[in-house]
Chains A and B, each alone.
Chain A
Amino acid sequence: MSREMKANLQGVDWWLLAAGLLLAAAGLIMVLSASGIMAEKFYGTKYHFFHRQALFCGIGLLAMIACASLPRPVLYGGTYLWLLLVLVLFAATAFSPLGVSVNGARRWLRLGFFSLQPLEPAKVALVLYLAYFFAGKQDKVRSFAIGFVPPFAVTGLLCVLLLAQPDFGGAAMLCALLFLMCLAGGTRFVYLFATFGIAACGAVMLVLHSPYRFKRFLAFLDPFKEAASSGYQLVQSLYAFGSGRVLGVGLGAGRQKLFFLPEAHNDFLMAVVGEETGFLGVSLIILLIGILLWRAFTIALKQDDLRDRFTAYGLALILGLGCLFNLAVVLGTVPPKGVPMPFMSYGGSQVIISFVCLGLLLNLSRRAGLRVAGGSAVGAAAPVGAAA
């Protein structure tokens, strides 16, 4: 038994695991600090969000362990099933009464005690699909009809569903995933850049057409000009970071969370980190993110199997894009988009999916470590074989 466990644990990327867990732990603390006052005002208890976030982390940990120990056939077997499931979730969000509309955007699916944001599982499903696709269709990947159309069609469909919510940030996230996956997967640069050029044009058109998006876009260029309106979030976020200086004002002592920072416990959690723990704390988090990315990409590169490699790569992209995009937003370097910080920000879907990504990466790292020993990997050949 113990030997089996040892064998199971062999190859587990402890750095990755530690980074993920530390981020989640730091997030838990910061969520408490950022949401306490707000939670007390609206829910009557300081710990409302903290308790929920702790619960999400617990579920996430279970999901991570499950994903890390799942046999590969189970993982890879349901690629299309996952996609279908995600599409159903999107449809349910858009059309069923379970969909919840917040601030004019219908992004959540109310499932009893917790709301699911289909975008999060969609990322994983998309990555699994694209990895499967590029690994399996390597020989046809440069052709237009087979190598280009299916992944773009699938991603495009998801993006359209996201834009309908509307969730521009989510769509951009999926497009970025597609782009980077295509880049690694070998799609022709001509197709790639032409498509993304067109998409970028479309995005610009969209931005220009919607005054709200246009304003928000311009606001990021000079947030202080419109500090009271469209640049508000950004300015408040920068205030928070600035107030933190080197050592921060102290855990819990931040003031920006007093309803100045919208979504302080959520997308702008890093601003609270910046204010309360200063550059030191922010650096610590950035360092953890660095470790996470380094290990995730390393795991991807270590994979010998193409599908494994692309999967690991895609999972690294999900976490990496999330972290960097979120940092970029809160630091005012890209237009503000609602992107949570993986592991840290409050939100069940995000936390659980981050842990799922972590678990899958650990699973793959374990496989990579067990390259020779592998016993349960037999079935894994099936999709590849089918593709070949």
Chain B
Amino acid sequence: MTRRAPINKKAKPRKTERVERPGDGRWRICAVAVLFGLVWLALWGRAGYVQLVQGEWLADLARRQHLAAEFERGERGDILDRNGRQLARTVRFNSIYVRPVEVENRDAVARSLAEGLRKSASEMRASLNSGRNFVWAARAVDDRAAHEIAEQKLKGVYLTHEYGRLYPNNHLAGQLLGFTDLDGKGIEGVERSRDGVLAGGKAEFVVQRDAAGRRLYLDAEGREMDIDGRDVTLTIDAHIQDLAEAALARAVEHHNGRAGTCLVVDVPTGEILALANFPFFNPNVYRKQPVDVMRNRAAMDIFEPGSTLKPFLIAAALQEKRVKPESRYFCENGKWKFKNHVINDDIHSYGWLNVTEILRYSSNIGTAKIGLDMGAQAYSGYLARLGFGERTGLNLPGEGRGLLRPPREWRDMDVAAISFGQGIGVTALQLAKAYLCLANDGIAKPLRLFLDEKAPDEPGQRVFDASVARSVREMMIEVVHKDGTGVKARIDGMLVGGKTGTAQKALPGGGYGKNYLSSFVGFFPGDKPRYLILAMVDDPSRAFYGSTVALPVVREVALGALAYTCQLPVKDAGVVEQAKAAPAVPAQVQTAAAVSGSHAVVAKAGQAEPVAEADRVPDVRGLPLRKAIEILARQGVVPKLEGRGAVVQRQSPSAGDPWPGQAQPFTLWLKGYAES
């Protein structure tokens, strides 16, 4: 240091002398330091400017790229029948749209789109050149086509998903199910009344995303959210519904009626197994059908029930102890002048009839007299307790209240008319509910349509004594099994109770015209009802009596339903085939099903599975093809099919033979059609 310093000190002045600038660089270093200081200050200022002045603007821009305001819709729940069959479900389909502005070569894109979507290239070109910003190339495209289009990565062509509602069974229970609009909102039917349950939640959440667009869930938000709609399970049995619809359609079409309704109710539970309306409504294509067809007539249409109301009058009179089944009334030989009106009995005219016979022959005059004996106050009380004049509580959209005027407004003629079912407005559901009370030994029970709703705990209100209900049911059995109006409803081996109805339809201007509403209500079996089946045909033209128009519907449905649930008496097997129901069931299966009380367990099989020894070929003759294949497939055998049909007629190798080897064929010969 000591040596060095002088040298330096010497060197510097020397340099200073020799050169213009001082060589120790101090002032230059100072200058650079100052320069650095200035830059440093400027950058500090710049930071302040960016963060404080531009901050708000930049922060807003940043927020836009960080946050994706997203909303996600949960999937709408399915509507299921009581066995879990899908009546309505949500499907996701692909749709392809084009933003023509972004398309570079419209001709080429139009060509490849047309090819992939199997559409005409010229139309595609035209729509691309239509000048619009957004063009649907195709909606509801199948996965393969969508994938192929996506693979091509055409510029300006986009693939998106849309959700739609599919009703796999088309018109089955169409009016009951209703439909949803394009946004998945229930507009009609169960879709509407249970929209709150079915509808998927809409979750709106702001998610943070990273540069790759991935959503980052920093907490549970979104990920664990359960926003899917819940399924709704109806009490409807799709099979019975189908039976009811088929029978109803046949009857309405055969009699050239305007419309029809058929209800099947499981008596012990009050569950509606079928609710059919005709003409059919297919909710898949709801926009293409007339509005009238969408109506759930069973719930919405109010009509005068006619004779089908009479059992309630008789029950009320019995309960009030005004009459006994043996009480006799003079039926005026078919024509009774009463207070400026004439009351007629249809077809036949009667003299003296007892109460049982009045119901059996459905005498208007007889019922009018019973009604007058009882009086408006008492009678209307029973009607109200049976549920007339108020909604059934099923919450179906547009359900009618019916029309039950307060008794103080009833004049004597009204009492008489209401006794035989005129001057009162009811819905098919109300009528079914009232009959359910009779079938249930006089206890009013609510109808049920939703299996997933808890059944009411408390027993319903007692309207009639059990003995009264029983004796009315006995009268209804006589309607069928004696020479009453319902003889055609008989089923061999089973007591059937029933009541016909042939109501003249009121004209809009008052009075009654030549239009009728034919109806029939049946109890199966009649003594201890399991099923209550109600059918109505509006405005039949070839015949109009309930016994000829509506009764066959009820019987057909009853046979089908009984066969399906294995409760059909064996004797009547021949009739079943005729009714195109499932093949007759062997006795042991029937009892098994009856014991278990199950609707569905054995039903699909229709026949007991043959007891097969594992190493021997089973006997599959007479089985439905599906069942036979199921059995064979379990052994790894794929049979060869000969002929057409759904039932196995013959088989080779025959039963009891050893299983054939791999090369040998297993052949089934088919014939006939079986209800699947």
Q: Is the CB of B61 within 8 A of A258?
A: no
Decide if B136 is an interface residue (CB 8 Å cutoff): no
Q: For B32, list chain A residues within 8 Å (CB).
A: 180, 183-184, 297, 313, 317
Q: For A304, list chain B residues within 8 Å (CB).
A: 5, 8
Q: For B39, list chain A residues within 8 Å (CB).
A: 324, 328
Contact code string B404-427 (vs A, CB < 8 Å = 1, else 0): 000000000000000000000000
Decide if B54 is an interface residue (CB 8 Å cutoff): yes
Contact code string A208-249 (vs B, CB < 8 Å = 1, else 0): 000000000000000000000000000000111111111000
Question: In the complex, what distance in Å separates the CA atom of A244 from the CA atom of B49?
Answer: 12
Decide if B456 is an interface residue (CB 8 Å cutoff): no
Decide if B140 is an interface residue (CB 8 Å cutoff): no
A241 nearest CB neighbor, chain B only: B50
Interface residue stretch chosen among B21-29, B183-191, B194-202, B637-645: B21-29
Interface residue stretch chosen among B204-212, B525-533, B550-558: B204-212
CB neighbors of B among A258-307 (8 A): 258-260, 274, 278-279, 282-283, 286, 289-290, 293-294, 297, 300-301, 304-306
Chain A interface bracket (under 10, 10 to 19, 20 to 34, 35 or more): 35 or more
CB neighbors of B among A315-356 (8 A): 316-317, 320, 324, 327-328, 331-333
Which of A180, A331, A378 interacts with B47 by CB under 8 Å? A331
Decide if A186 is an interface residue (CB 8 Å cutoff): yes
Q: A260-B65, A331-B50, A333-B43 are in contact. Are A242 and B58 (CB under 8 A)?
A: yes
Decide if A374 is an interface residue (CB 8 Å cutoff): yes
Decide if A310 is an interface residue (CB 8 Å cutoff): yes
Q: Is the CB of B25 within 8 A of A241?
A: no
Decide if B650 is an interface residue (CB 8 Å cutoff): no
Question: In the complex, what distance in Å separates the CA atom of A258 from the CA atom of B212?
Answer: 9
Decide if A100 is an interface residue (CB 8 Å cutoff): no
Q: Is the CB of A290 within 8 A of B40?
A: yes
Q: Is the CB of A258 within 8 A of B11?
A: no
A275 nearest CB neighbor, chain B only: B62
Q: Is the CB of A378 within 8 A of B1?
A: yes
CB neighbors of B among A97-143 (8 A): 134, 138-139, 141-142
Q: Is the CB of A243 within 8 A of B3?
A: no
CB neighbors of A among B293-317 (8 A): none
Question: In the complex, what distance in Å separates the CA atom of A246 from the CA atom of B36?
Answer: 25
Question: In the complex, what distance in Å separates the CA atom of A388 from the CA atom of B15?
Answer: 13
Which of B24, B33, B43, B52 interacts with A331 by CB under 8 Å? B43
Chain B interface bracket (under 10, 10 to 19, 20 to 34, 35 or more): 35 or more
Q: A245-B59, A286-B44 are in contact. Are A301 and B51 (CB under 8 A)?
A: no
Decide if A377 is an interface residue (CB 8 Å cutoff): yes
Decide if B597 is an interface residue (CB 8 Å cutoff): no
Q: With both chains docked as a complex, state the minimum distance between the C-beta of A231 and any C-beta of chain B, in angstroms.
A: 13
Question: In the complex, what distance in Å separates the CA atom of A245 from the CA atom of B63?
Answer: 13
Which of B4, B14, B25, B65 interacts with A385 by CB under 8 Å? B4
B21 nearest CB neighbor, chain A only: A186
* Most chain A Cβ neighbours within 10 Å, of B15, B25, B58: B25
Q: For A324, list chain B residues within 8 Å (CB).
A: 36, 39-40, 43
Q: Is the CB of B52 within 8 A of A301?
A: no
Q: Is the CB of A297 within 8 A of B36?
A: yes
B211 nearest CB neighbor, chain A only: A259
Q: With both chains docked as a complex, state the minimum distance between the C-beta of A175 and any C-beta of chain B, in angstroms.
A: 15
Decide if A309 is an interface residue (CB 8 Å cutoff): yes
Decide if A27 is an interface residue (CB 8 Å cutoff): no
Contact code string B57-79 (vs A, CB < 8 Å = 1, else 0): 11101110110000000000000
B67 nearest CB neighbor, chain A only: A255
Q: For B54, list chain A residues within 8 Å (CB).
A: 238, 242
Question: In the complex, what distance in Å separates the CA atom of A5 from the CA atom of B473?
Answer: 117
> Interface on chain B toward A: helix, strand, loop, or mixed SS?
helix
Q: A186-B21, A243-B58 are in contact. Are A260 and B211 (CB under 8 A)?
A: yes
Q: With both chains docked as a complex, state the minimum distance between the C-beta of A163 and any C-beta of chain B, in angstroms.
A: 25
Q: With both chains docked as a complex, state the minimum distance between the C-beta of B515 and any C-beta of chain A, in angstroms.
A: 73
Decide if A380 is an interface residue (CB 8 Å cutoff): yes
Q: For B4, list chain A residues within 8 Å (CB).
A: 305, 380-381, 384-385
Q: For B11, list chain A residues within 8 Å (CB).
A: 138-139, 306, 388
CB neighbors of A among B110-141 (8 A): none
Q: Is the CB of B3 within 8 A of A381?
A: yes
Decide if A256 is an interface residue (CB 8 Å cutoff): yes
Which of A185, A186, A309 interacts with B19 by CB under 8 Å? A186
Q: With both chains docked as a complex, state the minimum distance between the C-beta of B210 and any C-beta of chain A, in angstroms.
A: 4
Question: In the complex, what distance in Å separates the CA atom of A384 from the CA atom of B43?
Answer: 39
Q: For B208, list chain A residues within 8 Å (CB).
A: 255, 258
Which of B1, B30, B37, B52 interacts with A245 by CB under 8 Å? B52
Q: A138-B11, A238-B50, A274-B47 are in contact. Are A259 and B210 (CB under 8 A)?
A: yes
Q: Is the CB of A289 within 8 A of B40?
A: yes
Q: Is the CB of A184 within 8 A of B212?
A: no
Q: A242-B50, A301-B26 are in contact. Are A286 and B43 (CB under 8 A)?
A: yes
Q: Is the CB of A286 within 8 A of B47?
A: yes
Q: With both chains docked as a complex, state the minimum distance between the C-beta of B54 and any C-beta of chain A, in angstroms.
A: 6
Q: For A332, list chain B residues within 8 Å (CB).
A: 50
Q: Is the CB of A138 within 8 A of B58?
A: no
Q: For A278, list chain B residues within 8 Å (CB).
A: 51
Q: With both chains docked as a complex, state the minimum distance between the C-beta of B568 and any C-beta of chain A, in angstroms.
A: 67
Q: Is the CB of A320 within 8 A of B50?
A: no
Q: Is the CB of B47 within 8 A of A282?
A: yes
Q: With both chains docked as a complex, state the minimum distance between the C-beta of B587 and any C-beta of chain A, in angstroms.
A: 69
Q: For B62, list chain A residues within 8 Å (CB).
A: 239-240, 242-243, 255-256
A186 nearest CB neighbor, chain B only: B23
Question: In the complex, what distance in Å separates the CA atom of A139 from the CA atom of B11?
Answer: 8
Question: In the complex, what distance in Å separates the CA atom of A384 from the CA atom of B7?
Answer: 9
Q: For B50, list chain A residues within 8 Å (CB).
A: 238, 241-242, 274, 331-332
Q: Is the CB of A293 within 8 A of B36?
A: yes
Q: For A279, list chain B residues within 8 Å (CB).
A: 47-48, 51-52
Which of A183, A242, A327, A377 interacts with B43 by CB under 8 Å? A327
Q: A139-B11, A245-B59 are in contact. Are A377 and B40 (CB under 8 A)?
A: no
Q: For A305, list chain B residues within 8 Å (CB).
A: 4-5, 8
Question: In the complex, what distance in Å separates the CA atom of A49 from the CA atom of B337?
Answer: 106
Question: In the complex, what distance in Å separates the CA atom of A278 from the CA atom of B7?
Answer: 52
Decide if B216 is an interface residue (CB 8 Å cutoff): yes
Q: With both chains docked as a complex, state the minimum distance between the C-beta of B4 and any C-beta of chain A, in angstroms.
A: 4
Question: In the complex, what distance in Å separates the CA atom of A332 from the CA atom of B5?
Answer: 46
Q: A246-B51, A286-B40 are in contact. Are A183 and B1 (CB under 8 A)?
A: no
Question: In the complex, what distance in Å separates the CA atom of A380 from the CA atom of B26?
Answer: 21
Q: Is the CB of A328 within 8 A of B47?
A: no
A324 nearest CB neighbor, chain B only: B39
B40 nearest CB neighbor, chain A only: A290
Decide if B168 is an interface residue (CB 8 Å cutoff): no
Q: With both chains docked as a complex, state the minimum distance between the C-beta of A14 and any C-beta of chain B, in angstroms.
A: 20
Question: In the complex, what distance in Å separates the CA atom of A374 from the CA atom of B7?
Answer: 17
Q: Is the CB of A183 within 8 A of B52?
A: no
Which of A138, A274, A286 interacts with B15 by CB under 8 Å? A138
Decide if B250 is an interface residue (CB 8 Å cutoff): no
Can you report 19 residue pairs joining A to B where beta carbons are below 8 Å apart?
A: A139-B14, A184-B29, A186-B28, A241-B47, A241-B50, A241-B55, A242-B55, A242-B57, A242-B62, A244-B55, A255-B62, A256-B66, A259-B212, A260-B65, A274-B50, A297-B33, A306-B12, A313-B32, A333-B46
**Which 6 interchain pairs have the tightest Cβ spacing?**
A242-B58, A239-B62, A259-B211, A258-B210, A297-B33, A184-B25
Which B residues lie at the A interface, using CB under 8 A?
1, 3-5, 7-8, 11-12, 14-15, 18-19, 21, 23-26, 28-33, 36-37, 39-40, 43-44, 46-48, 50-52, 54-59, 61-63, 65-66, 208-212, 216
Which A residues lie at the B interface, using CB under 8 A?
134, 138-139, 141-142, 180, 183-186, 238-246, 255-256, 258-260, 274, 278-279, 282-283, 286, 289-290, 293-294, 297, 300-301, 304-306, 309-310, 313, 316-317, 320, 324, 327-328, 331-333, 371, 374, 377-378, 380-381, 384-385, 388
In the complex, given contacts A241-B51, A245-B59, A282-B47, what are 13 additional A-B residue pairs having Cβ atoms less than 8 angstroms apart?
Answer: A241-B50, A242-B55, A243-B55, A255-B62, A255-B208, A258-B208, A258-B211, A259-B212, A279-B47, A300-B29, A324-B39, A388-B7, A388-B11
